[in-house]
Homo-oligomer: A and B are copies of this chain.
């Protein structure tokens, strides 16, 4: 038996997120089905990040165990033949049998894109959050500085998650505008439930002038979800990648 690791990119538009559930089709179940067809074994992948409904990924990570003789590196090509074109394996390799994508130190990077212009752009509608009201990205940059570092992010965690601690470390949080697109890129050692989308929703309030940048400091200190901004829509969010300290 061997353990195979997959780097997976997907367009989350038509999926109810990563994790298998009853409400609709998920990336995890489509992968399990394609792997079963390919390997003639019951396969249950273990994913690193359980992305929400509508969230995209360029580099989510998953592992599975198999008896197949197919070399791990070749599985990516064979699997892509059996996957819908909104899911594509970027890489496959073999890892030790005890290698687990969640129970080890990792750094995750997410990117959130806001299309800030007068009219929507049909060519970007699936991968950006459209906003008509002008955002002040300089103020958003200022606000972002308060979020970087180790903090108790309880104010940025949706109800319904059971975690021992709400303390996380954000290594970097950049806000950059290019043409009409504001890109918010955040890297950290882990994120709470909806944390990235709530941080973005809060930065949007700052960009609109509703909160002054320094108010973000108070929001963190409050440790209360209700003082932070709303959760930004899923379509603008992409899991860029996960780095493991091997």
Contact = CB atoms under 8 A, between A and B. Distances in A.
Interface of A: 9-11, 56, 58, 76, 80, 85-91, 118-123, 125, 127, 238
Contacts of A122: 9-11, 56, 85-88
B76 A125 contact: no
28 contacts: A9-B119, A9-B121, A9-B122, A9-B123, A10-B122, A11-B122, A11-B123, A11-B125, A56-B122, A56-B123, A58-B123, A80-B119, A80-B120, A85-B120, A85-B122, A85-B125, A86-B122, A87-B122, A88-B119, A88-B120, A88-B121, A88-B122, A89-B119, A90-B118, A90-B119, A91-B119, A123-B127, A123-B238
SS class of chain A's interface: helix, strand, loop or mixed?
Answer: mixed
Nearest to A8: B122
A147 to B, nearest CB: 26
Contacts of A58: 121, 123
Contacts of A56: 122-123
A89 B152 CA distance: 45
Contacts of A86: 122, 125
A121 B120 CA distance: 23
A24 to B, nearest CB: 18
A119 B76 contact: yes
Nearest to A122: B11
Nearest to A87: B122
Given A86-B125, A88-B122, A123-B238, 19 more contacts: A9-B121, A9-B122, A9-B123, A10-B122, A11-B123, A11-B125, A58-B121, A58-B123, A76-B119, A80-B120, A85-B122, A87-B122, A88-B120, A88-B121, A89-B119, A90-B118, A90-B119, A91-B119, A123-B127
Contacts of A87: 122
Contacts of A118: 90
Nearest 5 pairs of A and B residues by beta carbon: A11-B122, A86-B122, A88-B120, A90-B119, A88-B122
